[in-house]
Structure 1
Amino acid sequence: MQQRGDIAVQRAQVRVTNTSDVPVTLVSAIVESAALTAPAGGDTARPLRIGPGQTTDVPVPLTGLQCTDADGSPTVRLLLRDGGVRVETVHPLDDPLDVVARLTAERCDVEAVASVARVSASDLSPGADGTAELVVSIHPTGVAEAGRLELVALRGTPLLRFADGASSALGVSVGPDDAPSTVRVAVTPLRCDAHAIAEDKVGTLFDLVARVDGRKVVVPLERPRAVAEALLAFTARTCGLTP
């Protein structure tokens, strides 16, 4: 499964339930799948004691996701400590929410966009009218056979919207041999409650709607940490939550 805070950092949770009548200690969880270039996970941040009938979620980074149509049915290898005995077990992973399939499809879409151009939020310039200008940089790859990329729109986040609504039309056509360019859109806070900003997980992660050779895709708009922090600071300042 994925929690809200897992999305931006490309992570999932393995939910482990102790169905025995004795406590065990979990010290390692490793996920394997055809959707990963290498096994994911490893030692837990600290040993996790799981009592009889108890359940715990173990975070596993999925940084090795790849675009593939191979069977991505995952398994998990758990290393447990039961008293003084170390026990390794392997289990198939249920995936009722199709997390692996969804992330694999998203990876294919990200690679399709990246084959034509790198599209990212590169800068933020706050204005005096309660909006800030978000700069989206477009750097074509120069790979001639990559086809064309249509940048259709940006979608807002739980924290930010655009000056002209919940989404902002882009209407930009990009070829792999085009010169680098930029698009500028005005953003403004969608909400100003302090806890929403303080507990933000995906509030600075805009969705990019695009077409690659006519196929519609929706991918996260890449943004460096500095831009994410600037967006949060702008929101807090515009909402009057900072001195």
Structure 2
Amino acid sequence: MPAPTGVTVSIVQDRLYIAKGEASIVIENAGSDAISLTNASYSTPSLSGAVAWSGELTIPAGSHRSVTFPIPSTDCAGDAAATGTAQIGFATADGAASAEYPVADPYGFLGRHQAAECFAQQLDATASVHITDVTTRTTDAGLIAVLTVTATVQGEEAIRLDSVKSTTLLQPAGGGWTWEPATTVEPGRTATVLLEAVPARCDLHAIAEDKVGTRFDTTAEILGDPAVTGTLTLVATDAQRGALFDYVVAACGAPAP
């Protein structure tokens, strides 16, 4: 049976799914009639293994729907520029139908994801870098949060922590949008970096809905030959995340929920 016409497919990851390690296949129906999906599979060279979904999903004419999936492990040898294909199954008035579609990557998700995951693997082989503590301190300018980042190099190559980006929740107490630790840690050594932070905003609704405000993108370098630069994400633990939320509520002068 022929598959419906006017179908396009893309892969995206919005803020809601970053912390969950998920992404979505978006199926758009540009045809004049509703379509009914029964299954979908997706594969691309930069992800190991195929994504598979089955169920019942109706997409009205001129609309789109998403199928969300856990992101498979990354294939660092795979070409992130090759966005892969999706096989979509449909239920039609004449019976089952299926077709293969090229998958668009309109926001460059696959390339960013592969680069971050593969750099993290390289870094993990030589060093451990984590947020190890969250405290608060009162200064002349008011209450600030202090995040302790601990880096230990167990491998043979030194690392350098260059900069840490602010988030929707927190920014540097000294102003600007990035912390600049510029700290080198030699093999066999441990170093700590203190990130002094203040609220980036005092919109308590935004705090309640926050998804990525305690995930800090950090530019780092593995000082090998050649050196490798990339981005790792420092992720607060649940306890640290709670402490940071409590801090923002207190610093913004709002009563605790």
TM-score normalised by structure 2 residue count: 0.80
- Which residue of the other structure, out of 38, 50, 53, is the alignment partner of 1:42? 53
Match of 1:6, SS? helix
Is 1:30 matched with 2:26?
A: no
Q: Tell me, in whole angstroms, the C-alpha distance in 1 between the residues paired with 2:188 and 2:94.
A: 63
Kept in 2, the 8 Å contact 1:132–1:186? The answer is yes
Of residues 207, 211, 215, the one that matches 2:221 is 211
Which of 218, 236, 249 is equivalent to 1:223? 236
Shift in Å, 1:16: 0.6
Distance apart, 1:205 and its partner CA: 1.3
Provide the alpha-carbon RMSD of the alignment: 2.5
> Do residues 196 (structure 1) and 206 (structure 2) align?
yes
Moved over 6 A (4+): none
Give yes or no for contact 1:66–1:107 (8 Å, CA) kept in 2: no
The one-character-per-residue Cα deviations of 1:60-89 (angstroms, maximum 9, x if unpaired) are 332422322436332123333346944443
Structure 2: how far apart are the matches of 1:50 and 1:234? 43
CA distance in 1, matches of 2:72, 2:208: 26
Identity of aligned residues (%): 26
Equivalent position to 1:167, from 171, 178, 183: 178
How far is the alpha carbon of 1:150 from its aligned partner?
A: 0.5
> Which residue in 2 is equivalent to 1:138?
151
Is it true that 1:186 corresponds to 2:199 in the alignment? Answer: no
Structure 1 gaps, min length 5: none
User: Radius of gyration: which is bigger?
Assistant: 2
Residues 24, 240 of structure 1: alpha-carbon distance in 2 compared, 3 angstrom cutoff: same
The answer for unaligned runs of 5 or more in structure 2 is 1-11
Q: How does 1:65-80 map to 2 (within 5 A)?
A: 65-70=74-79, 72-80=82-90
In the superposition, relative to structure 1, how do residues 192 and 175 fare at CA in structure 2: closer, same or farther (>3 Å)?
A: same
Residue type matched to 1:163 in 2?
A
User: What is the number of residues matched between the two proteins?
Assistant: 237
Map Cα deviations across residues 154-200 of structure 1 (whole Å, 9 max, x no partner).
2211220122222222232223433x443222211111012221221
Secondary structure of the corresponding residue to residue 143 of structure 2: coil
1:162 and 1:41 map into 2 onto residues whose CA distance is 42
Counterpart check, 1:150 vs 2:163: no
The question of 1:7 aligning with 2:18 is answered yes
